[in-house]
C-alpha cells in the first residue's frame, strides 16, 4: 500500500464520510488523518478482502464512534455538573428562605422563649448557663427551650 497515493486518492472521500458522522470540521480532519496513520501502521492487517477505500472507511468509522462516545460522556458529565449546581443553588435559596422565616418568627416570639432559644442555638450556651442568666433551674431552661422549639415548629408548619 502506497500511503501517499492512498492519501491523495481517498482523503476527501474519507473526510466527507467522517464529517457526516461527527459534524465537526476539525474533529473530522483529525479522525481522517488518524485513519490514514492507523492504516499505514497496520498495513499487515489489510488482506485485500475489500477495497482500500472500504478499509480506510472502516478504520475511520471506528475512530468516529470513539470520538462520538467521548463527546457524549463529556456532555453527560457537564449535564451532571449543571444539575448538581442547580440543585445546590436551589437548596441554598430554600435554606436562606427558611432561615429568614425562622428569624422572623423568632422576632415575634414572646419572652422568655425567644431569648432562651437564641441563647441555646445562636449563643451555644448550656442549659446550666441559661439557667444562671435567668436565675432559674436547669430544668426550667430545658423546658422553656423545648417549648420554644415546639412553638417555632408549629409556626413553620403553619407558614408552609
Residues 6+ apart with CB under 8 A from 137: 131
Alpha-carbon gap, residue 106 to 91, rounded angstroms:
22
pLDDT value of residue 95: 66
Name the fold adopted by 109-159.
Answer: Arc Repressor Mutant, subunit A (1.10.10)
Fill in the DSSP letter of residue 123: S
Number of alpha helices (DSSP H) and beta strands (DSSP E) in the chain = 6, 0
Q: In the CATH hierarchy, which top-level class contains the domain 3-81?
A: mainly alpha
For the chain, which residues make up each domain, given as ranges? 3-81, 109-159
Residues 6+ apart with CB under 8 A from 98: 156
∠ CA(138), CA(143), CA(146), 5° rounding?
125
Q: How many other C-beta atoms are found inside a 10 Å radius of the C-beta of residue 35?
A: 26
pLDDT along the chain (160 residues), means of 10: 79 91 91 89 66 86 89 76 64 66 77 85 86 91 89 77
pLDDT value of residue 25: 92
Q: How far is CA 134 from CA 111, 119, 127, in A?
A: 12, 11, 11
Amino acid at each position: 500500500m502506497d500511503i501517499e497515493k492512498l492519501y491523495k486518492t481517498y482523503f476527501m472521500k474519507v473526510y466527507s464520510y467522517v464529517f457526516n458522522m461527527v459534524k465537526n470540521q476539525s474533529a473530522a480532519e483529525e479522525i481522517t488523518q488518524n485513519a490514514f496513520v492507523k492504516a499505514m501502521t497496520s498495513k499487515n492487517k489489510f488482506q485485500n478482502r475489500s477495497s482500500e477505500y472500504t478499509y480506510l472507511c472502516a478504520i475511520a468509522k471506528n475512530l468516529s464512534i470513539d470520538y462520538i462516545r467521548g463527546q457524549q460522556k463529556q456532555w453527560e458529565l457537564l449535564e451532571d455538573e449543571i444539575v448538581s449546581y442547580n440543585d445546590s443553588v436551589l437548596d441554598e435559596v430554600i435554606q436562606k428562605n427558611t432561615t429568614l422565616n425562622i428569624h422572623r418568627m423568632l422576632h415575634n416570639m414572646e419572652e422568655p422563649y425567644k431569648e432562651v432559644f437564641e441563647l441555646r442555638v445562636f449563643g451555644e450556651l448550656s442549659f446550666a448557663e441559661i439557667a444562671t442568666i435567668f436565675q432559674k433551674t436547669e430544668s426550667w431552661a430545658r423546658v422553656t427551650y423545648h417549648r420554644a422549639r415546639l412553638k417555632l415548629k408549629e409556626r413553620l408548619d403553619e407558614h408552609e
